[in-house]
């Protein structure tokens, strides 16, 4: 019952606050700039939805933390506040990547050293088990910064970042509940309620975006929920109905697999092209789906559904080792990505064969929403 109250409270805070945020954003002309290579929207849209998400999460969590044994709670909130304020500043006036990176490192240091929430065991992954203190600190900071940036990058089309957040927040809420970590379960539930309220205004056509103040925050929360899940001290494996959780690291990877894979993929491609991995482009998974003529909501559904299927797959593979599970995940997602790439190449050849070459964008400039479908429409009209 308490979980439901927290969920509904977060939902209502966001649901009733966003209209006011949208109104103020239009009055003060606080919009997301559509004139960049990564943007697929064509209208000016407020990008301060993260304010409502953070407010709802903070309010609901403040009802939880004092009544549960969460000694690290206040430090985690402080670290989250730092990232939220950094993102908000970036949304309002813009910040350099270096400044944002320093803020991410600072937040990660608060989590790992002050709150002492760390990845302490790799459970046999790469044949590593217990980690020494220095390695644990370094790996945890790298993980937090990586996941924060992964969610910042995946926030590219209507509903996608919100849908993936809803999946990981409710999944962790249930896992923490089964592990007896009610405080953590309620915090994850609070985030889930806030995100559901936000999605009401973010599903196509989006009336507001979460902005960096939202994406940096949810990336941070995704990271700390994952770290807490990996560090649970449970004498017996978690039991989820017919599933028994023996390999937590594989499940944590599956929960965040879409943003993790998308980030690793685009970074690798940029490096192979002798470009900075931090150079913005439109080669993310969601851009590729849009190029095939899918809508925002269709692309979001495909990626969110795939995320859920990977979670179910890992639950069914709990008799395998962590290394074997991650190898299977990697092989499957690389295979799907390879097939998608082959299909896109064939699709582009079809466009080149039937349309003016001058109207087809270069590979690294495919940023026009539903470009492929519009070219085909022209072909059929001709």
With tokens 């400039």, the residue in question is: 365
Residue among 288, 263, 262 at smallest CA distance from 278? 263
Distance CA 135, CA 235 (A): 25
Task: Give the pair of three-digit tokens for residue 81.
Answer: 């506040």
* Two tokens, residue 44: 């000016």
Q: Is the distance from CB of 137 to CB of 117 less than 8 angstroms?
A: no
Residue 154 CA to residue 265 CA, distance in Å, equals 12
Q: Could you give the 3-state DSSP secondary structure of residue 165?
A: helix
Residue 38, burial from CB neighbour count under 10 angstroms (0-12, 13-18, 19+) = middle
State how far the Cα of 187 lies from the Cα of 36, in Å rounded to an integer.
35
> What is the DSSP secondary structure assignment for residue 364, as one 8-state letter?
G
Known binding residue 212? Answer is yes
Alpha-carbon span 52 to 89, nearest angstrom: 15
Q: Tell me how many helices (H) and strands (E) the chain has.
A: 14, 4
283 is in an annotated binding site: no
CB 126 within 8 A of CB 249: no
Do 290 and 157 form a contact (C-beta atoms < 8 A)? yes
Q: Dihedral of CA 237/184/15/159: which sign?
A: negative
Alpha-carbon distance of 260 to 187, in angstroms, equals 23
The CA distance from 343 to 286, in Å, is 15
Per the annotation, where are the binding residues for Mg(2+)?
152, 212
Per the annotation, where are the binding residues?
152, 212
């Amino acid at each position: 019952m308490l979980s439901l109250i927290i969920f509904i409270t977060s939902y209502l805070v966001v649901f009733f606050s966003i209209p006011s945020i949208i109104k103020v954003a239009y009055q003060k002309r606080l919009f997301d700039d559509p004139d960049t290579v990564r943007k697929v929207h064509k209208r000016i849209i407020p990008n301060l939805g993260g304010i409502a998400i953070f407010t709802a999460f903070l309010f609901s969590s403040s009802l939880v933390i004092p009544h549960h044994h969460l000694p690290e709670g206040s430090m985690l909130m402080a670290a989250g506040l730092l990232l939220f304020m950094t993102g908000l500043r970036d949304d309002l006036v813009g910040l350099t990547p270096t400044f944002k990176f320093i803020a991410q490192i600072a937040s990660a240091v608060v989590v790992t050293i002050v709150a002492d929430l760390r990845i302490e065991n790799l459970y046999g992954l790469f044949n590593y088990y217990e980690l020494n203190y220095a390695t644990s600190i370094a790996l945890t900071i790298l993980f937090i910064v990586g996941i924060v940036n992964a969610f910042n990058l995946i926030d590219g089309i209507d509903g996608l970042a919100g849908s993936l957040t809803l999946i990981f927040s409710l999944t962790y809420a249930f896992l923490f509940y089964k592990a007896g970590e009610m405080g953590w379960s309620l915090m994850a539930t609070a985030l889930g309620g806030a995100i559901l309220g936000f999605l009401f205004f973010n599903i196509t056509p989006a009336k507001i975006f979460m902005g960096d103040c939202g994406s940096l925050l949810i990336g941070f929360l995704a990271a700390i929920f994952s770290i807490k899940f990996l560090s649970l001290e449970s004498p017996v494996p978690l039991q989820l109905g017919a599933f028994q959780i023996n390999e937590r690291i594989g499940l944590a990877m599956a929960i965040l697999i879409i943003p993790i894979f998308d980030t690793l993929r685009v970074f690798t491609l940029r490096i192979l092209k002798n470009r900075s991995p931090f150079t913005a482009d439109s080669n993310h998974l969601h851009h590729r789906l849009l190029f095939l003529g899918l809508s925002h909501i269709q692309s979001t559904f495909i990626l969110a559904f795939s995320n859920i299927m990977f979670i179910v797959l890992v639950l069914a593979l709990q008799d395998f080792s962590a290394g074997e599970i991650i190898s299977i995940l990697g092989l499957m997602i690389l295979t799907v990505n390879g097939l998608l790439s082959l299909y896109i190449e064939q699709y582009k050849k079809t466009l080149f064969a039937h349309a003016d070459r001058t109207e087809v964008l270069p590979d690294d400039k495919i940023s026009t929403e539903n470009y492929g479908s519009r070219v085909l429409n022209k072909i059929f009209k001709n």
